[in-house]
Amino acid sequence: MLRSRRWAQAWAVLRLLVAAAGVAAIVGQLIRTVSISAANGWPLGLTAVDFFSFFTILSNVGAAVALTIGAFLILRGHRIDPAWFATLLAAVSTYMLITGIVYNALLRGLPLPQGSTVPWSNEILHVWAPLFLLLDVFLGPLRRRLPWRALWAVIAFPLVWVTYTLIRGPLVTDFRTGNPWWYPYPFLNPNVQPWGYAGVALYVVGIAAGILLIAAGVIWLGRRRGAEPGDPPVAQ
């Protein structure tokens, strides 16, 4: 069934619905965040930069783009994912899975200013969208077998993001609190970690290992259930 054309078309519709929900969640939270800044007279440009510096937001943007592209590839009659898209899909699947794991393991219980988050948006971005990407790894059609070297393409973005975050953090002032730093997540903030940068390094190493493990699992599953050019076409 998972290789039938009918299943592929149904999954394409699901991908579009989840992509739309992700975009709605991002826009809903952005509106709330910008509205709070506007009400307090805080800089809106810096508010937007901070907003799009969260790994969660960037991962969900990437997921919405990838799911939309994947849906249209199916609807246009592709029999197998192009190599570039298979790599993109493996990457965003990994990022969304790590987003769900890190949020629910490290961040869910952290107190936030009352009214700063949109509850339904928060759940879509951190729970439901990651769960769908997990299902997509197991059930999504047209999967292409990727070579193991694709692992390096998958982990490239998290490395760039954490480097950007740690360089930018001490260079900007948090206009909300007046602190002479801003980090999107407390586990990356050496000013609140008991061991400073050593504590941050432990978290970075741990999360990097998790990303590598998840990325390897995503690629392994794709190699187990995926196809290559020249394989029998999808059934009707």
- For the full predicted model, state whether its pTM sits above 0.75: yes
- Check residue 108 and give its pLDDT: 78
What does the radius of gyration of the chain's CA atoms come to, in whole angstroms? 19
Encode pLDDT of 9-24 as tens digits.
999 999 999 999 999 9
Which range, of 64-73, 103-112, 203-212, 217-226, averages the lowest pLDDT? 103-112
Q: Which pLDDT band holds residue 236 (cuts at 50, 70, 90)? A: very low
Encode pLDDT of 48-101 as tens digits.
999 999 999 999 999 999 999 999 999 998 888 999 999 999 999 999 999 999
- Check residue 3 and give its pLDDT: 63
The C-alpha angle with vertex 183 and arms to 37 and 194, in degrees rounded to 5, equals: 135
Q: Please give the Cα distance from 236 to 232 (Å, whole number).
A: 12
Identify which of 2-11, 73-82, 168-177 has the greatest average pLDDT: 168-177
Compute the average pLDDT of residues 35-47: 97
List, as one string, the DSSP characters of 104-163. IIIITT----TTSS-HHHHHIIIIIHHHHHHHHHHH-SS-BPPPTTHHHHHHHHHHHHHH
Burial of 147 (0-12, 13-18, 19+ CB in 10 A): exposed
Q: Is a pLDDT exceeding 70 seen at residue 34?
A: yes
Maximum Cα interatomic distance, the chain, rounded to a whole number of Å: 61
Compute the average pLDDT of residues 204-224: 95
Strand partners, 4: 235
Q: Is a pLDDT exceeding 90 seen at residue 157?
A: yes
Q: Is a pLDDT exceeding 70 seen at residue 228?
A: no
Alpha helices, DSSP H, located in 2-143:
5-40, 44-51, 55-75, 83-102, 119-123, 129-139
Q: Of 19, 6, 2, which Cα lies nearest the Cα of 129?
A: 19
Burial of 115 (0-12, 13-18, 19+ CB in 10 A): exposed
Q: How many CB atoms lie within 10 A of CB 93?
A: 29
Q: What's the length of the chain?
A: 236
- Check residue 235 and give its pLDDT: 42
Q: Of all residues in the chain, what percent carry a pLDDT higher than 90? A: 82
- Check residue 225 and give its pLDDT: 86
Q: Is a pLDDT exceeding 50 seen at residue 31?
A: yes
- Check residue 233 and give its pLDDT: 44
Encode pLDDT of 103-154 as tens digits.
988 777 766 665 688 999 999 999 999 999 999 999 999 889 999 999 999 9
Q: Please give the Cα distance from 44 to 33 (Å, whole number).
A: 9
